[in-house]
Structure 1
Amino acid sequence: MPVSRPARRTVVLGAASALTALATARTAEADSTEPWVRRTLARMTVEHKVGQLFVNHVYGAAADTSDGRNTAEYGVATPAQIIAKYHLGGISYFTWSANIANPRQVAALSNGLQRAALEANDVPLLIGTDQETGSIVRIGPPATQFPGAMALGATQDVSAARDAAAITGKELAAMGVNQDYAPVGDVNINPGNPVIGVRSFGEDPETVARFMAAQVNGYQRQAGIVATAKHFPGHGDTRVDSHTGIPEITHTREEWERIDAVPFKLAIQQGLKMIMTGHLVFPALDPAKDPATLSKPIMTGILRHDLGFQGVVITDALGMQGVRDKYGDDRVPVLAINAGVDMLLRPPSFRVAYEAVLEAAKNGEITEARLNEAVTRILRVKASNRDPFVDEARVDRVVGIASHLTRAAKTTNRSITVVRNDAATLPLDKSPKKVFVTGYGVTATQTLANEATKRGHQAGVFQTGTKPSNLAIETAVTGATQADLVFVLTMKAWDLEITDPEARQQRLVHELVATGKKVVVVAVQEPYDIGFLAGVETFVVTYVPTVGSITALAQVLYGEITPQGKLPVTIPSGEDPGEVLYPAGHGLTW
């Protein structure tokens, strides 16, 4: 008996009802927290308000850790002293700032920082980190490691994306991290994009929107932390990395509406609390060609007025070159606030930026109304987390638990994508043979060699990196000639501007194929590599070179699980970008 489908009107009414319920919930929350917001704002000095605009790193594994780098940047030695002196609105965690050793230590640090903030200001901190999953993570194992956005897109399973965000968010929350700088809403329609790539869910705006909205719900509704969608107005069609230069997006306004805006619009409808800006020029949205972060037509005119976003707008890191080319470091934060930004992330010189904003607030360049508007939005986000402390003894019962790891492994297994299997090399048999593993990544190549050994093979391994020398290529070829089967791992072999300017990875692959041995090529990052590897008969994509992804890869290679991944992006020919080698949605199975 066929299953009846609801009429379109019923579906639309159902969606409308859901949005109405969400709006009602938001109104109720606002009604309960608004008195605290008003009282808190009323007692703040200008210095307190300006401090709330800043999110910065601090050095040290504990709130009372003295570190000379803190003294050099802030004039005081410990994270707690920095918070007390500058009334910071947020802290961002990094491994390089000695903030992350293990989950219990992170939880203790978070509690110490929150204690310092409440003692100084009676206002909790936003504590955030870049835990996008996949290639961009700050907190490694034992925290659960999910594959990244493009791998999630390859699963074609929106619920997997929601669960990845929910589990990641719950583990962050257990460590006192109440904000994630994720998900990424950029639509990666440019195969040459050097900074987004696998951080995007794919090239189709509607698909990216669905996956992004699912992750917003996972972070905010299920995990109870703040999601931060990035990088508005859209970083998906650029060949310039905004860390090192200023990208210019040439889309028309209509193209922006049809491509870049779609994920952000849906996320906003889902109650998104924070958006991160992109340091990119978008002439169709602002003819003055100011970076979007500093553009009032984009930040206020489009994001606030046209899209109706009422949450907090935070900049991408202000030390990135994309926002520094046109104006000085003392002007950038002031211009950002006056453009409509609410929070300033990691300026290159904190004290220069802080003093510039404070002076602008005192002399009226930043009006009292604008300052209060920004701080009010920040306080509204913080209002639901006024008791920010976590149970340090409970961390191990949340972070990296078996059910989380099982869900991550299941998701990773579904993401592995077999793109080419022309000689029917896959699935591999497990009869004893000599295998040789080479190419990118010490951990990735050794993990795959270990997996081959577990299956009864004699495995040799030789890691070459992304720019193998002539000697490394010769050594790899020699190793291949002594083996029955060769695995070669590539990492952005398409990127002839930054990663592989002399096409050495491409040469390595071609010389290995020329040995006449069976060669299985594995792209451990973007799938675009295959467009530059003519003659390769077997090609698989993992999207990230983690232990979990390589373990899942081995299961696919040996036929222990059926490949299910589908390309979230179109693969063009490296010689003729107009020629499509593999369309989005392609993926082999058996």
Structure 2
Amino acid sequence: MAQLIIGACYGDAPSSRSAEFKKYDHWVHDLHIGGLIVVNRVQNGMVRYAEPHAMAVFLNRMQKMAKVPLIVAGDFERGSSMRVAGGTPFPYSMAFAAARDPEATHFEGLVTAREARALGVHWILAPVADVNNNPENPVINIRSYGENPNEVAEHVTAYIEGAHSDPKTRVLVSAKHFPGHGDTNINSHLGMARLEASKERMEAVELKPFRAAIAHGADSVMTAHMSVPAIEPEEIPATVSPKVLTGLLRGELEFKGIIVTDALDMAGVTAKFHGGEASVRALEAGADVLLMPPNPEQAIRAVVAAIESGRLTRRRVEESVLRVLAAKIHVGLTPGKKLVDLEAISDVLDPPEADERAQQVADRAVTLVRNEGNVVPLANPDSSCLVVLVERRQSQYGQRIIDEVRKRAPQMRVAVLDASLPGAALADAAGDTARCHAIAVTTFVTASDTRNTVALGGDLGPFLEKLTAGPAPVVLVSLGSPYLLASFPKAAAYLATFSVASTSEIAAVKALFGEIPITGHLPVTIPGFARYGDGIQTPAKTH
């Protein structure tokens, strides 16, 4: 049954003498786990992306060690660049909906499949099928295609069809997070979320994209660590609910593919079930694959004990093992075809045409929600100011914006402020903004594994509120949650990119300087300020 276990790795190449390598050796050689998932290291708040060749070397070593070929997964929601340095920098899913471009979503699925297979990844844990209709959702947000279930379904199916379109690069895809994580306000990494919706509402909203995904060949569905009282009266996560997984997903939605849990090291499940209990309960509920149990060996022991005691039947576990083995055969994983061609990686990653298409999506996604006094595009960039607000002093966000601005307006005053600074220090660092012709303020608030909010951190909120009340007009540029405008009603203009990718930073600057027409439409409602579909259409400047 160890074939049902997927363990986490970081995609680097540790020494065979290191404790880390010996851990993987034990998992693969001794325990015979079914696969690995590549995740990112986070050090001092900074994400470290895997170097593609080092990652492939590591995966090859693991495959050579494996008696049964390993299936390798990756959360490539916005392409391989979400986890690996050098992949095509696609923007977040909500940007594709703002650009109203399902064809681009299809293209993203195709490119992601090709890049994934070049790296040794066979299972793409995407697309996100959640309908984000809760502005307070701290874990989905711009990972979703928006609040319209029909639009979400359209993009979900486009992604799946794109990922499956090249027979030379077969991959598995996974619609997530079942039965729909969009209308929740708790981060399931930190606690168990709850979906307060009737079965009728779920049929009309949450379940629509999943039905579409299943109809269009989704290979797997990932569960959500949230309670669903309309389906399961017991206060337990959907991940361990037979009523949700077997009754609803297998029964009513007639899904025949792989059911994979969300990561079993998340507090949404560990807060209630310790040790290997979550793994046993997930299999009892109908799950096939146990993703990232905190201790794979403990999970295996717990499942074996459950079989021996009669709590789990051998037949039930064998059904899941057969699904996993069939999936491995489907993607061409055989003992003779399980290694990555290291020389081919650079030829596949980040092709120029994909880069260009990713930038086009980011450009077309930029949405102008408010523009008092026609402050956008900036009339006098050199006499305007740029204020970059980031959560941490060391941040990967904002640098591309600063570089692009300085190319265009070398005299523009730039201040980078982070949430660790107290209010007085923020004001001092920003300087005398009253002399700015206009102030462009960029923010990067998005879903995070470690936060239960999508608000600005520290004193950044009060600082920005005071800035918008000053004499200089403020252009608030949200490169993350589009809902941020509701907290700053005095901003003169409001631009949303729905993404913090580098392509979106470039697009934001191009929009501010009038280099591109602004044509995006809101894929969500901003309560009290803007409706779904709104977007002020602005032509590019004529030179």
Tell whether the structures are fold-level matches, with TM greater than 0.5.
yes
User: Is the Cα contact below 8 Å between 1:54 and 1:346 reproduced in 2?
Assistant: yes
1:198 maps onto 2:149 in alignment: no
How far apart are 1:353 and its partner, in Å?
A: 1.4
Matches within 5 A, 1:242-321: 242-321=188-267
Matches within 5 A, 1:75-90: 77=22, 79-90=24-35
How far apart are 1:502 and its partner, in Å?
A: 7.5
Cα 1:86/1:479, change in 2 over 3 Å: farther
How far apart are 1:325 and its partner, in Å?
A: 2.8
CA distance in 2, matches of 1:548, 1:501: 22
Instruction: Give ranges in structure 2 of 5+ residues lacking alignment.
Output: 539-543
User: Is the Cα contact below 8 Å between 1:436 and 1:479 reproduced in 2?
Assistant: no
How far apart are 1:59 and its partner, in Å?
A: 6.0
How far apart are 1:430 and its partner, in Å?
A: 5.8
User: Is the Cα contact below 8 Å between 2:49 and 2:84 reproduced in 1?
Assistant: yes
Cα 1:357/1:431, change in 2 over 3 Å: closer
1:475 maps onto 2:428 in alignment: yes
Determine the structure 1 residue equivalent to 2:401: 448
CA distance in 2, matches of 1:417, 1:357: 50
Instruction: Give ranges in structure 1 of 5+ residues lacking alignment.
Output: 1-49, 71-76, 574-580
Cα 1:444/1:252, change in 2 over 3 Å: same
What letter corresponds to residue 382 of structure 1 in structure 2? K
CA distance in 2, matches of 1:511, 1:271: 51
Cα 1:460/1:443, change in 2 over 3 Å: farther
Residue 423 of structure 1 aligns to a residue whose secondary structure is: helix
* Counterpart selection for 2:63 from 96, 108, 114: 114
User: Is the Cα contact below 8 Å between 2:446 and 2:480 reproduced in 1?
Assistant: no
User: Is the Cα contact below 8 Å between 2:188 and 2:226 reproduced in 1?
Assistant: yes
Cα 1:534/1:78, change in 2 over 3 Å: closer
Determine the structure 1 residue equivalent to 2:515: 560
User: Is the Cα contact below 8 Å between 1:60 and 1:78 reproduced in 2?
Assistant: no
How far apart are 1:533 and its partner, in Å?
A: 0.8
Normalized against structure 1, the TM-score is what?
0.84
User: Is the Cα contact below 8 Å between 1:135 and 1:148 reproduced in 2?
Assistant: no
Determine the structure 2 residue equivalent to 1:29: none
CA distance in 1, matches of 2:462, 2:117: 46
How far apart are 1:434 and its partner, in Å?
A: 4.8
* Counterpart selection for 2:12 from 54, 57, 61: 61
CA distance in 1, matches of 2:446, 2:210: 31
What letter corresponds to residue 167 of structure 1 in structure 2? V
Cα 1:183/1:57, change in 2 over 3 Å: same
How far apart are 1:105 and its partner, in Å?
A: 2.0
User: Is the Cα contact below 8 Å between 2:435 and 2:472 reproduced in 1?
Assistant: no
Cα 1:500/1:269, change in 2 over 3 Å: closer
* Counterpart selection for 1:405 from 344, 347, 355: 355
User: Is the Cα contact below 8 Å between 1:443 and 1:547 reproduced in 2?
Assistant: no
User: Is the Cα contact below 8 Å between 1:63 and 1:78 reproduced in 2?
Assistant: no
User: Is the Cα contact below 8 Å between 1:135 and 1:544 reproduced in 2?
Assistant: no
Matches within 5 A, 1:141-180: 142-180=86-124
Normalized against structure 2, the TM-score is what?
0.91
How far apart are 1:482 and its partner, in Å?
A: 4.7
Residue 464 of structure 1 aligns to a residue whose secondary structure is: strand
What letter corresponds to residue 259 of structure 2 in structure 1? V
* Counterpart selection for 1:354 from 297, 300, 304: 300
How far apart are 1:294 and its partner, in Å?
A: 0.6
User: Is the Cα contact below 8 Å between 1:198 and 1:525 reproduced in 2?
Assistant: yes
CA distance in 1, matches of 2:530, 2:483: 10
Higher helix share: 1
How far apart are 1:187 and its partner, in Å?
A: 0.5
What letter corresponds to residue 8 of structure 2 in structure 1? H
How far apart are 1:134 and its partner, in Å?
A: 8.2
CA distance in 1, matches of 2:229, 2:114: 40
Residue 572 of structure 1 aligns to a residue whose secondary structure is: coil
- Structure 1 stretch displaced more, 509-518 or 181-190: 509-518
Determine the structure 1 residue equivalent to 2:132: 188
- Structure 1 stretch displaced more, 350-359 or 235-244: 350-359
How far apart are 1:497 and its partner, in Å?
A: 6.3
Mark the structure with the bigger radius of gyration: 1
Determine the structure 2 residue equivalent to 1:587: 535
Matches within 5 A, 1:532-551: 532-551=487-506
Length, aligned pairs only:
523
